[in-house]
Amino acid sequence: MAGRHTIILMQPSQNRSSRTFMDYNSINHALDGICGLYERKIRDINPMIPNITYDITDLYNFIDGLADISALVYDHEIHAFLPYDRQWIKQKLFQHLKKLAQR
């Protein structure tokens, strides 16, 4: 997964003007970026809490609460970006966080 350019396309609210994208050098960096978005949201809601904790269900609820989210991952063999949906992102997040927890 290293070196696979990944673009996260996101629309946080129903307002079409909330559409945005985030550009990463790898899938793992993109997954870390999504976690970072959620952590910033928690900090914005609870600025007085020094240590943020959450579980995978909280992260899934955040992702499901977005109007839209998808990923475009560059495939070097076909020289094109392949699209992936919300469920794929959630599966990759679970695998990624599980690996981090085992370290």
Residue 38 located in a structural domain: yes
Q: Is the pLDDT of residue 21 over 80?
A: yes
Q: Is the pLDDT of residue 1 over 60?
A: no
Residue 20 located in a structural domain: yes
Residue range(s) defining the domain that contains residue 26: 6-102
φ, ψ of residue 79 in degrees (nearest 5): 55, 50
Residue 88 located in a structural domain: yes
Q: Provide the CA 67 distance to its chain's centre, in angstroms.
A: 14
Place of tokens 């269900």: 57
Residue 96 located in a structural domain: yes
CATH no. for residue 77?
3.30.2260.10
The sign of the torsion formed by the CA atoms of 36, 41, 43, 44 equals: positive
Q: What is the pLDDT of residues 58-92, one digit of tens each?
A: 999 999 999 999 999 999 999 999 999 999 999 99
Q: What is the pLDDT of residues 51-64, one digit of tens each?
A: 888 999 999 999 99
CA distance 8 to 38: 14
Residue 1 located in a structural domain: no
For the chain, the domain total comes to 1
Q: Which of 39, 46, 40, 86 is nearest to 64 (CA)?
A: 86
Residue 61 located in a structural domain: yes
pLDDT of residue 101: 87
Residue 70 located in a structural domain: yes
Q: DSSP H helical segments within 1-103, as ranges?
A: 27-45, 56-65, 86-102
Q: Which of 88, 79, 96, 101 is nearest to 2 (CA)?
A: 96
